[in-house]
Amino acid sequence: MPKGKKGPGGKLAGMTEEERLLFMQQRALAEGDAAKQKEDMLTQFLKDKLQKEERNSRVNLHKLTQQWRMVLRKARTDELRRDVDVLSQTFERVLDRKDSVIKCLVGDLEEAEQQSLQALRSNLQCMDQLLEVHRARLDSLEQQWNTELEGLSEEFNSERELIMSQHQEDCAYLEDVSFAVEQYYNEVDNEAKQDFQNTRDDIKNRNIEEKHALRIQLEGAVEELWRQFQQTLQAYNEATADRQIAFETLRARDQSSAQEIDTQMKKLQKMQDLVLALREKLNSSQRESELAAQELRAAREEVTLQVQQLKDQLSRIRVGERSQLANLTTHSSAAAKKLQGVIQKGEKLLRMSEMCRKLETEQERVLPFYTSSLSAEEQSLDRANTMEAPCEELAQAMLDYTGLERFWQRYNKALLERVCLEREQEALRQENKQLRLLLRQYLDGITVSDGILHTRNPLLMVSRPALTSPTNTEAHRKWPTVIEAAHVVQYTL
Amino acid sequence: MSEFADRLEESSEAQVEMCPPVAKLEPAVDPRRMRRIIAEDTQWSLALVPLLRDLCLQSIVKNFEEKPILNELLPHHKTVVLEKLSPNLPLHITANLITDENYWKRCCIQRWGLSDVSTYGYSWKRMFFERHLQKVIELFIPDVTDPQSVLELVPLCKNYVQKLDITQLLPPVKDPQKLEEADGSDSVSEVGFDGPSIDHFDFGILLNKLTKLEELHVVYGVKGCGMNFEWNLFEFTHRDCQALAEALKSCKSLKVFRIHQSKVSDEKCRTLVSKLLDHPSLRHLSFSHNMIGDRGARAIGKLLNNSKLEKLNVCDNKIRGPGARAIAHALCSNTTLISLNLRLNQLGDEGGQAIAEALLYNETLESLHLGANEMTEPTATALSQVLVQNKTLKNINVSCNRLGVDGGKVFEEGMSHNRTLLECDIRLTELLENAISTHEAQVRRSREICIKVTGARERLLSAWTLRLPAGRGT
């Protein structure tokens, strides 16, 4: 309040300090009040403002939120649109796939249907054909059956009629015949009966008469026969009287002869017994003789066996002796030959010794057997060795030849001398070669010719290289390569 | 002594009389009196040199190919030569020369074993040539086999071939080399890429030359392909169809034509029918087991009235109501058709009723087969009306349609008025038990009806056929 402030400011000069203080206090109070009022107003104003601001802020907030919402909505719609696009694409794809699958299935279904239709058609056709065939067959069978049935029934009927008619005819015929036959037989029967009666009567009468006649006749015959019989009996008796007597005599004779026969029979028996006994004796004696004969035979056989054996033995011994003799002869001849050989060897040796003797030196002629070059110890050792029982076979064999020690001595000496001579000869030969070479070189050096100038010439050389003859190198080369065993072993195993 | 001799004579005579009555041969010829020579070599015979006549005949037989001499011989020589001729002689010599059936019988038996000659009119020669030509056609591979090989057979067999029953037709062989070339070549050569010139054997070259051909049966398929099955083996293409139609038109003596199991569709049926219209001699036509629909049926209807067809068989196709209506329309004014077979189509009630209406006007049809056509009671009603009115129908087959009990009753009633029907097949039509007893009564009343009634499968009644013999006129 500029007025308020101006007012008190203009009055300051006219007042006293207390008034000024009071004024100042009043002014301060008024200012305070005013300030309070102001403050109140301010607060009120601020409150209003605050409220307004709050309202505004709320409104603004709403606005803001609204704007934000719009923005967010936009963003959201964009997002959603994108999602929708994506989803629509995926759905379209899925849909397409499903469509294609459905098409495939539909195609498969159609093909399967076609196949099934094809199969069905061919099946139906086959069935139709089969049905036709069966129907044809059935028809033919039925026809056949019908025709056969008709044929059979016709036949049957015709036969039946035939048979019936024949049967009837036959019946009629038979009736007639039977009737006729009955009549006929009746008549015949009556006649026969009458005849029979008649004849029976006749025969009866006749029989009675005949019986009478026969009786009479027979009686007469019987009497006559009886008389005849008596007669014959008498005659017979008379005839047989003497026969009877004869008969009696014969009977008596018969008895006597029977007795004789008995006695004779007894004699016979005795004789037979005797015969039997004799036969037995004969048998026994025969047997004994046989036994004796057998024994003799056996003995004979033994003897012959022995004889044979002895013969065999003899022959064997002979053969043995013969072989022995042959052996002996061969051995003796062999021995003789050997001895001959030995003799010859000995002669050879003698000749050789003579030859050697010719070649011997004076020293050898005098002292043929040199003293041993071994020392005393060695000699004793050697003797001990020889004293030992030799174990080896060769050593045992050699025992036989101990006598030849002296010979071996001389022989070995000769051999050693020979070897030494040979070595000397070799050495001399080498020397000879060397000397020749030197000579050649010297001669080469002396003579001057083209060929020699081209070759190595000692005259034209300053230093004398070692004169190794080419042959030595060759000789060196002749030596085989020597490889140490250790070296070989390393690499072979 | 004389008495003794006399007695001997008597006894010997008596003995001779007691011998069996054997022909009395001369002693020199009688093999029982002469010494017989039993040789170890079974071929040995006293007759070492055959007769000159036999030698001639032998040489004729041997050289028959170069010089076929047959008709100049005497009859008994001719029979001898024919007995000995080899069945493997080339046909161009023997076809028109030898008419003896025994020779052809030997040829047939050697080639095919025992076969039934009654189906070929009891003629072995005809059987041989028909089967031979059939084999040649069946093994003909288009573009590989020379058609000349077929044509040169024609003059030999055209007098003997009356029926051709072709059971397979081979498609052309797919040439893999050609395909490879085509793959690697430019578009230019692709345009000029030659497919096979014909898809199957072209009958056109053959049929017009076979002057006696009366029956032709064809199947466009391959038998026994096993694992090599491909759909193209069973395709009856447009080209084939056109060629076949032309060939049929050119064959003037054809009476029976049957194309079955060849996937003949409507278009192809129309092509074929268009060429068969007004065919001079066709009597039997069969399109069985194909895929003919309503349009094809319309074409067939048109054919019915423009030719002298007596027997038509379109069983196992896809003819529906409209197709049946077309055929019925043709039937109304048709006077030649005797037998119609429409089984295993999908006529339905619509078609069945149409046909029944046509039958009210038609007076020549004697045999009608409507089995397995999904027909129900309305058709039964229509048919019963037909049975009352129609006087020429002798054989009707409605098996395997669900006529039902009501249908059965109506049918029964129609049947009671009919006097001309001879055979009626109502199997699997579900005319149930109520109907049977009355059927018995029907049968007793009408004498010329043969009804095959078999119960439903669940009840397993035995099939009893009632056929009353004789008495065609009531």
Between B104-118, B167-181, B458-472, the lowest mean confidence (pLDDT) is in B458-472
Top mean-pLDDT range of A230-244, A292-306, B303-317, B352-366:
A292-306
**DSSP H or E stretch at residue B165:** strand B163-165
- DSSP per-residue codes, A61-82: HHHHHHHHHHHHHHHHHHHHHH
Quick one: pLDDT at residue B171? 81
Between A206-215, A359-368, A417-426, B44-53, the lowest mean confidence (pLDDT) is in A359-368
Tell me the chain A residues in contact with residue B372 when contact means C-beta distances shorter than 8 Å: none
- Band of residue B7 on the pLDDT scale cut at 50, 70, 90: low
Distance from CA of B289 to the nearest CA of A (A): 5
- Band of residue A159 on the pLDDT scale cut at 50, 70, 90: very high
Strands B163-165 and B450-453: unpaired
Question: Is B455 a residue whose pLDDT tops 50?
Answer: no
Tell me the chain B residues in contact with residue A125 when contact means C-beta distances shorter than 8 Å: 260-261, 288-289
Tell me the chain B residues in contact with residue A121 when contact means C-beta distances shorter than 8 Å: 261, 289-290, 316
**DSSP H or E stretch at residue B434:** helix B433-445
Q: Which residues contact B103 (CB under 8 A, 6 or more apart)?
A: B82, B85, B87, B94
**CA–CA gap between residue B403 and residue B424 (Å, rounded):** 14
Minimum Cα–Cα distance from B234: chain A residue: A118
Greater confidence, B207 or A420? A420
**CA–CA gap between residue B90 and residue B110 (Å, rounded):** 14
Tell me the chain A residues in contact with residue B288 when contact means C-beta distances shorter than 8 Å: 125, 128
Residue type, A53: E
% of residues, chain B, pLDDT over 70 = 78
Distance from CA of A82 to the nearest CA of B (A): 45
A122 to chain B, any CB pair closer than 8 A? The answer is yes
**CA–CA gap between residue B416 and residue B443 (Å, rounded):** 9
Minimum Cα–Cα distance from A136: chain B residue: B119
Distance from CA of A98 to the nearest CA of B (A): 27
Tell me the chain A residues in contact with residue B261 when contact means C-beta distances shorter than 8 Å: 118, 121-122, 125
**CA–CA gap between residue A45 and residue A39 (Å, rounded):** 9
- Band of residue A220 on the pLDDT scale cut at 50, 70, 90: very high
**CA–CA gap between residue A436 and residue A428 (Å, rounded):** 12
Distance from CA of A132 to the nearest CA of B (A): 13
Quick one: pLDDT at residue B10? 59
pLDDT in tens, A418-430: 999 999 999 999 9
Residue type, A439: L
Question: Is A204 a residue whose pLDDT tops 90?
Answer: yes
Between A103-107, A383-387, B125-129, B420-424, the lowest mean confidence (pLDDT) is in A383-387
- Band of residue B409 on the pLDDT scale cut at 50, 70, 90: confident
Quick one: pLDDT at residue B447? 33
Question: Is B434 a residue whose pLDDT tops 70?
Answer: no
Minimum Cα–Cα distance from A122: chain B residue: B261
% of residues, chain B, pLDDT over 90 = 11
- Band of residue A149 on the pLDDT scale cut at 50, 70, 90: very high
Minimum Cα–Cα distance from B469: chain A residue: A146
Distance from CA of B20 to the nearest CA of A (A): 37
Name the residue among A111, A114, A124 with its Cβ closest to that of B289. A124
As given in the structure block, the two tokens for residue A4 are 């308020």
Q: Other CB atoms closer than 10 Å to residue B219's CB: what's the count?
A: 22
B344 to chain A, any CB pair closer than 8 A? The answer is yes
pLDDT in tens, B319-337: 999 999 999 999 998 889 9
**CA–CA gap between residue B336 and residue A255 (Å, rounded):** 146
Quick one: pLDDT at residue B451? 46
Between B6-15, B80-89, B153-162, B242-251, the lowest mean confidence (pLDDT) is in B6-15
- Band of residue B185 on the pLDDT scale cut at 50, 70, 90: very low
pLDDT in tens, A69-84: 999 999 999 999 999 9
CA-based nearest residue to A445, from A435, A433, A454, A458: A458
B288 to chain A, any CB pair closer than 8 A? The answer is yes
**CA–CA gap between residue A59 and residue B25 (Å, rounded):** 159
Quick one: pLDDT at residue B340? 93
Question: Is A228 a residue whose pLDDT tops 90?
Answer: yes
CA-based nearest residue to B420, from B387, B371, B375, B451: B387
Quick one: pLDDT at residue B443? 47
Q: Select the residue from A115, A116, A121 to test the B interface by mutation, using most B Cβ atoms within 10 A.
A: A121
Tell me the chain B residues in contact with residue A122 when contact means C-beta distances shorter than 8 Å: 261, 289
A118 to chain B, any CB pair closer than 8 A? The answer is yes
Task: Please give the torsion angle defined by the CA atoms of residues A248, A251, A257 and A258, in that order, rounded to the nearest 10 degrees.
Answer: -150
Distance from CA of B157 to the nearest CA of A (A): 28
Question: Is B24 a residue whose pLDDT tops 80?
Answer: no
Question: Is A262 a residue whose pLDDT tops 80?
Answer: yes
Q: Mean per-residue pLDDT for B365-370?
A: 90
Question: Is A448 a residue whose pLDDT tops 80?
Answer: no
Q: Select the residue from B217, B316, B423, B467 to test the A interface by mutation, using most A Cβ atoms within 10 A.
A: B316
Question: Is B470 a residue whose pLDDT tops 80?
Answer: no
As given in the structure block, the two tokens for residue A146 are 């019908």
Under an 8 A CB cutoff, do A124 and B344 touch?
yes
Between A282-286, A462-466, B236-240, the lowest mean confidence (pLDDT) is in A462-466
Name the residue among A111, A114, A121 with its Cβ closest to that of B316. A121
Tell me the chain B residues in contact with residue A117 when contact means C-beta distances shorter than 8 Å: 291
Residues forming beta bridges with residue B313, ordered by sequence position = B286, B341
Distance from CA of B332 to the nearest CA of A (A): 29
Question: Is B446 a residue whose pLDDT tops 50?
Answer: no
Name the residue among A111, A114, A125 with its Cβ closest to that of B261. A125
Greater confidence, A387 or B424? B424
**CA–CA gap between residue A80 and residue A78 (Å, rounded):** 5
Q: Mean per-residue pLDDT for A261-287?
A: 96
Question: Is B452 a residue whose pLDDT tops 50?
Answer: no
- Band of residue B38 on the pLDDT scale cut at 50, 70, 90: confident
Q: Which residues contact B401 (CB under 8 A, 6 or more apart)?
A: B352, B370, B371, B372, B373, B374, B375, B376, B379, B429
Name the residue among B234, B260, B344 with its Cβ closest to that of A118. B234
Q: Which residues contact B422 (CB under 8 A, 6 or more apart)?
A: B394, B395, B448, B449, B450
Q: Mean per-residue pLDDT for A110-133?
A: 89
Quick one: pLDDT at residue A291? 96
Q: Mean per-residue pLDDT for A35-53?
A: 82
Question: Is B15 a residue whose pLDDT tops 70?
Answer: no
Give the ipTM of the model, two decimals please. 0.71
Under an 8 A CB cutoff, do B260 and A124 touch?
no
B132 to chain A, any CB pair closer than 8 A? The answer is no
Name the residue among A111, A114, A121 with its Cβ closest to that of B289. A121
Listed in sequence order, the DSSP H helices in B341-376 are: 348-361
Tell me the chain A residues in contact with residue B290 when contact means C-beta distances shorter than 8 Å: 121
Q: What is the DSSP letter of B313?
A: E
Name the residue among B231, B260, B291 with its Cβ closest to that of A125. B260
Q: Mean per-residue pLDDT for A290-312?
A: 96
Interface list for A 389-408 with B (CB within 8 A) = none
Quick one: pLDDT at residue B471? 30
Top mean-pLDDT range of A78-82, B370-374, B416-420:
A78-82
Greater confidence, A435 or B29? A435
**CA–CA gap between residue B114 and residue A465 (Å, rounded):** 120
Tell me the chain B residues in contact with residue A140 when contact means C-beta distances shorter than 8 Å: none
**CA–CA gap between residue A73 and residue A81 (Å, rounded):** 12
Name the residue among B234, B289, B291 with its Cβ closest to that of A125. B289
Distance from CA of A127 to the nearest CA of B (A): 12
Instruction: Look up the pTM and report it.
Output: 0.51
A135 to chain B, any CB pair closer than 8 A? The answer is no
Quick one: pLDDT at residue A109? 95
Name residue, tokens 């093994």: B139
Tell me the chain B residues in contact with residue A114 when contact means C-beta distances shorter than 8 Å: 231
Instruction: Check if the beta carbon of residue B418 is closer than 8 Å to that of residue B442.
Output: no
Quick one: pLDDT at residue B419? 76
Q: What is the DSSP letter of B227?
A: G
Top mean-pLDDT range of A96-105, A481-490, B256-265:
A96-105
Tell me the chain A residues in contact with residue B260 when contact means C-beta distances shorter than 8 Å: 125
Give burial (CB, 10 Å; 0-12/13-18/19+) of A230: exposed
Collapse the DSSP code of B465 into the 3-class scheme (helix H, G, I; strand E, B; otherwise coil) and give the result: strand
- Band of residue B180 on the pLDDT scale cut at 50, 70, 90: very low
Distance from CA of B261 to the nearest CA of A (A): 6
Tell me the chain A residues in contact with residue B315 when contact means C-beta distances shorter than 8 Å: 124, 128
B316 to chain A, any CB pair closer than 8 A? The answer is yes
% of residues, chain A, pLDDT over 70 = 85
A348 to chain B, any CB pair closer than 8 A? The answer is no
Quick one: pLDDT at residue A177? 97
Mean pLDDT of chain A: 86
Q: Which residues contact B346 (CB under 8 A, 6 or more apart)?
A: B318, B319, B320, B373, B374
Under an 8 A CB cutoff, do B316 and A124 touch?
yes
Q: Mean per-residue pLDDT for B374-379?
A: 88
Quick one: pLDDT at residue A454? 64
B260 to chain A, any CB pair closer than 8 A? The answer is yes
B234 to chain A, any CB pair closer than 8 A? The answer is yes
Mean pLDDT of chain B: 77
Distance from CA of B266 to the nearest CA of A (A): 16
Question: Is B179 a residue whose pLDDT tops 50?
Answer: no
- Alpha carbon A230 to chain centroid, angstroms: 123
For the four alpha carbons of B148, B151, B157 and B161, in that order, the dihedral sign comes to: positive
Number of A to B CB contacts under 8 A, please give it. Answer: 22
A124 to chain B, any CB pair closer than 8 A? The answer is yes
**CA–CA gap between residue A300 and residue A306 (Å, rounded):** 10
Quick one: pLDDT at residue A173? 97
Distance from CA of A137 to the nearest CA of B (A): 13
Question: Is A93 a residue whose pLDDT tops 90?
Answer: yes
Quick one: pLDDT at residue B231? 80
Q: Which residues contact A121 (CB under 8 A, 6 or more apart)?
A: B261, B289, B290, B316
Sheet of B367-369: strand order equals: B163-165, B215-218, B256-259, B284-286, B311-313, B339-341, B367-369, B395-397, B423-425, B450-453, B464-466
Under an 8 A CB cutoff, do B288 and A118 touch?
no
Q: Mean per-residue pLDDT for B205-234?
A: 83
**CA–CA gap between residue B427 and residue A244 (Å, rounded):** 132
Quick one: pLDDT at residue B465? 31
Under an 8 A CB cutoff, do A125 and B344 touch?
no
CA distances from B45 to B39, B54, B59 (A): 9, 16, 22
Quick one: pLDDT at residue B232? 78
- Band of residue B195 on the pLDDT scale cut at 50, 70, 90: low
